[in-house]
Structure 1
Amino acid sequence: MATAKSARKLPRGVSIRSLKSIERLQIAFSYRGKQCRELLPEKKITQAYIDYAAGLRNEIRRKIADDVFNYAAYFPESPSADAFKPERKWVTIGDLLLAQLSMYGQQVTNGSMSPSTLLGYTKIIKGKLLPKWGELAVTDISPSMLREWIGQMGVTAKTARNVLSPLRSVLDDAMNDDLIEFNPLDRVALSKLIRQTSKKSEYDVDPFDADETAELLKHARPDERSLIQFWLQTGLRPGEIIALPWSNIDWVHSKVRIDTNIVTGIVDGKQTQIEKPPKTEAGIRDVELSSLALAALREQKSVSFISSIRVWINPRNGEPWSMDSQIRKTLWEPLCKRSGVRYRNPYQLRHTYASTLLTSGCNPFWLANQMGHEDVEMVFKIYGKWIPANYQKGQRFTQESHAPDSDRKAKSLTG
């Protein structure tokens, strides 16, 4: 007859030790060339407990294989714990940051991170973190060192958090791998420190008024004017303007489908321009076109409809724009000088679209949808001072009544 012990299913490396009047589970594994056997806590031996022991043994073997096993953390009362004290490794923060950057690259390959996000992390790690912390041993970084550095960053709160994100990640991993006992960032009152020491964003919503937009349109060259007028009438993001294909124009319903964006990112280790969907579902949208926006498109048809899949092309070479900096340097900056309009970056055309419509009584909820915001909160936060106190909630955009004043004053494009 089979004994109770032999009837139990014991996986490899798991055994039952009989000690006086009790039985204990024991697991066996090899560590640093030695065979180790450790008793598990006294507990009724059931199949579930046996399965747990097998799982624990597998976990230990994985950590041994990854060279991150800490004997004392698993068996603090074992005589072997002292004999197998973890050796303090000389690992620099730079080593960890470069490994993290490599992991980010793998995430891009796997499709779980965008190339543009990788570019942002690469700039932070190589431009901010490695110069400051790269040569320092991870065991030597302290909360006071971090506190002083963060306090002297002199950047906006958003930038500070972006910089700290990959650093926190590598310090968390270092703690989990027993390289450090705690993450020093956890002992810094970050929210309070960033709030007290970060600087206010220098970027300001500074839209063009009616006279300025009239001057911009007046001084734009014929091969520039249609783009400026369309931009003022749709408020698209620069990457959305650049990526816009002719196939997304709905001439019948006077709408344009926005479903692509062009951003800068890293692919195969090289910085390049990438066409990708908007970040959020709300970014994929149908933007209603005013008669002035349609007129701008009709004018542009004679320029690029046959020669390019993209609507807007660089008049200097006849090729589609590849990045917003091209528009800024070769078209926008010269236009501002010719027109005598105080320079602001071309993103302010998007702000001009929003502020002009809101001032004329446009429904903020409708506008949030047109601009690709997930909800109306961003509209109130960014453009609140342009929203009339008694706006009509049912009011919608119409092609002419809410067109920017400058475009009503300027001669419309025809085609």
Structure 2
Amino acid sequence: MDARHRGITIRGNSAQIAFTYQGVRCRETISIPPTKAAQKELVLKRQAILYEISMGTFDYSKHFPHSRKAKEFRKTRADLYTIKEAMISWLQRNQTKLQKSTLQDYNSAIYYHLLPAFGELTISELTASKVKEWLSILPCSSKRKGNILIPLRQMFDELYHEEIIDKNPLQRVKNLPTKTREPEPFTQEEVTKILHELTGQAKNLIQFAFYSGLRTSELIALRWPDVDFENNRIFVTSAYVRGQFKTTKTKSGKREVTLQPQAKEALLTQQTFTRTQNQTVFHDPDTNQPWRDDQPIRKKVWIPALKKANIKYRNPYQTRHTFASMLLSRGEKPLWVASQMGHKDWGMIIKVYGRWIPQSK
């Protein structure tokens, strides 16, 4: 071919078209019959490609649907790249960085909520108003809605910083306000009644929960090496979530907790059950195996005990509230209580437990 046809190389029954797209030199091979008419069409095709590139409308996958480059360049076109494609790609790139429980949460949010709602849209088609409208009819709590949006927010933030999009619509979608449940701590009389209905390992677990303030996931992750009887303390370093040990959620969550007398008593009694068997302190008394999660505790231990004691149901997290209100009511400093609870500062203590803090005269 003559100079007018530069960028095209004929090779038997195929031809190679060369062009530059987004600063990258591209070469694509296509099959053509060895005729002048076919070669003329090839010249027109390259001219069309160059024109579309100059106008910013070039769709690589439309011209070369089977090209590996097409898949890569598609990712740079917000008007062509679908949210489904981007979301799945984002998850694959980031899954090794995520805790197992977090990955499960993201998979649930992505495949059960985000993709059915927005998967077929291109990146550029998603707007803040579409997300807000969808949230308004999503049948779950405000907190859950916020959690569902997390992977979508992270993906769009990444697209924005990579300059694939100029504006991030998720920045205009604020998380809905969540209602903070008012603490309903148990009275000392109620605690006594509940513990009276329990025996053995079940009693040790619930007694320790009331007097240590640990979250259930922290309780079932506690190991004997974390217990320091000599210095009257335990070390909270991990949580057991969905069958996996993980580090505490925040830096302040990793903490040293002073053993209250009743908590120490529960641990001393528990030694006879698990100290020589396994490093995990608390076990399911029915199987003598470590607890898998908090649900069996609630169903097999907590609910039956409250029913027998004829006490109004409150969830097991109220043992943590009971611990905090007990310490504050007896005059312990809020900052110290915050450290025992695993809060980074005492702001949360004042906000949630302010009415149990004695007023100074």
Contact 1:156 1:201 in 2 (8 A): no
**Residue-by-residue CA offset, 1:196-250 (whole Å, 9 max, x unaligned):** xx46437442211222111101111233212221111111111111011112211
Change (3 A) 1:223 1:159: closer
Report whether the alignment pairs 1:125 with 2:113: no
**Residue-by-residue CA offset, 1:232-284 (whole Å, 9 max, x unaligned):** 111111111101111221121111121121122xxxxxxxx211221223222
**How big is the shift at 1:306?**
1.4
Report whether the alignment pairs 1:34 with 2:34: no
Contact 2:328 2:358 in 1 (8 A): yes
Determine which of 279, 298, 303 is the counterpart of 1:328: 298
Report whether the alignment pairs 1:218 with 2:196: yes
Determine which of 240, 254, 258 is the counterpart of 1:262: 240
The residue correspondences of 1:152-301 to structure 2 (distance < 5 A) are: 152-153=137-138, 155-172=140-157, 182-186=167-171, 188=172, 190-191=173-174, 194=175, 198=176, 200-201=178-179, 203-264=181-242, 273-301=243-271
**How big is the shift at 1:311?**
1.2
Consecutive unaligned residues of structure 2, counting only runs of 5 or more, are 1-15, 28-49, 60-76
Change (3 A) 1:351 1:83: closer
Change (3 A) 1:276 1:146: closer
What does residue 26 of structure 1 align with?
A: none
Give the TM-score taking structure 2 as reference length: 0.75
Change (3 A) 1:301 1:170: closer
**How big is the shift at 1:79?**
7.9
Q: Secondary structure at the match of 2:289?
A: coil
Change (3 A) 1:101 1:282: same
Determine which of 311, 317, 340 is the counterpart of 1:347: 317
The aligned amino acid for 1:208 is: F
Determine which of 131, 136, 147 is the counterpart of 2:121: 136
Report whether the alignment pairs 1:149 with 2:134: yes
The aligned amino acid for 2:336 is: W
What does residue 97 of structure 1 align with?
A: 87
Number of equivalent positions: 306
Contact 1:238 1:324 in 2 (8 A): yes
Q: How many Å separate the matches in 2 of 1:60 and 1:382?
A: 56
Report whether the alignment pairs 1:358 with 2:322: no
Contact 1:139 1:179 in 2 (8 A): no
Q: Secondary structure at the match of 2:257?
A: strand
The aligned amino acid for 1:214 is: T
Give the TM-score taking structure 1 as reference length: 0.66
The aligned amino acid for 2:326 is: T
Root mean square deviation of aligned Cα: 3.1
Contact 2:239 2:246 in 1 (8 A): yes
